[in-house]
Structure 1
């Protein structure tokens, strides 16, 4: 299965009472587990999860405050060895040796998406 089919990312933007945020929903459409990774760009605080496992057909959401810049990618064929080190065949383990990437990016080969959410994105359309 090609990397672009690893998981589906759905974006919902909410602008209520001056709160500007986005909710990203990760859904695994594969018949095997995937381990999405996340990385905040620009030196800001990382999201509540920087890496997690998604079983087949499972979904998970992450709330992201605006402004935000970052990336998401899928990792496959992952396992934890006898020493406790987590590793993957694609996008490896961010060099952390853990499921969480802890501020590190994917190690190639990796297919990823990079996004930037502006604080007032709607003003561009007025």
Structure 2
């Protein structure tokens, strides 16, 4: 009996040792978390949303409300891959029965998207982040599915190497009529990509156009590129707008100051 009890104590002590060892050596990803700060500089509220890539967890339950001027920190595991976007014009007070509750970026009419991908068009921040600063994180802002808001992305504290600036023009003002998404009041709330609007292989870079040699910029993607030169304007945009940056803290700002002239300290 005494031998059994001593063995139990030893076994428990070994478990504690290994747990402490994993924590102090950084083996538990929950300890080695990254921080993503979502900032809303738009003059109206937004509903940021997150959707993970396969094998990664949902962050912040997939979505939340953020008032104008608000900032919210999202914690992530030691490595995470997925997309972040902002929804606009939402009303969750009325049951939607899975119909859109937002004018742009809606995810099945829910406040918390729980991993559901948003309805395009929406400006997408695509991220693969690493806590280990010896391993770079990669991110970009994509307009492949269209545009609804300008956004900037940077590390914290910010450095020019890691900064994706906002747009120099408001795409809602320059969006061609055939790409426009209009709300019930007749206001342009988003701009579709040519792929989303027309579903043609030549615009979507698929099938016989599924290579950089075959799929070239179109008049539509060139409009996106002119307004938002730091973003991915179509599938084979070159040079690649993907940023490589070693950091464990990032800031995503919707409606950055002065359409892309945001100070690095933001």
Query: More deviation in 75-84 or 61-70?
Result: 75-84
Q: Does 1:28 align with 2:77?
A: no
Pairing partner for 1:56 from 68, 86, 90: 68
Pairing partner for 1:87 from 92, 101, 116: 101
The answer to which structure has the higher strand fraction is 1
**What are the within-5 Å matches in structure 2 for residues 1-126 of structure 1?**
18=26, 19-80=31-92, 82-83=94-95, 87-92=101-106, 94-95=107-108, 97-118=109-130, 120-123=132-135
Structure 2 residues not aligned, in runs of 5+: 1-23, 137-245, 247-266
TM-score (norm 1): 0.73
Considering only CA atoms, is the larger Rg found in Structure 1 or Structure 2?
2
RMSD value over aligned CA atoms? 2.3
How far 1:71 moved relative to its partner? 0.8
How far 1:114 moved relative to its partner? 0.8
1:65-97 per-position Cα deviation (integer Å, ceiling 9, x unaligned): 1221011001111113533556111112x12x2
Determine the C-alpha separation between the residues in 2 that align with 1:70 and 1:117. 9
Determine the C-alpha separation between the residues in 2 that align with 1:46 and 1:87. 20
TM-score (norm 2): 0.37
Conserved? CA contact 2:62–2:113, under 8 Å:
yes
Determine the C-alpha separation between the residues in 2 that align with 1:54 and 1:67. 25
The answer to which structure has the higher helix fraction is 2
Distance 1:31 1:123, change over 3 A: closer
Structure 1 residues not aligned, in runs of 5+: 1-15
Aligned residue number for residue 12 of structure 1: none
How far 1:46 moved relative to its partner? 1.3
Aligned residue number for residue 9 of structure 1: none
How far 1:104 moved relative to its partner? 0.5
Larger RCO of the pair (alpha carbons < 8 Å, separation 6+):
1
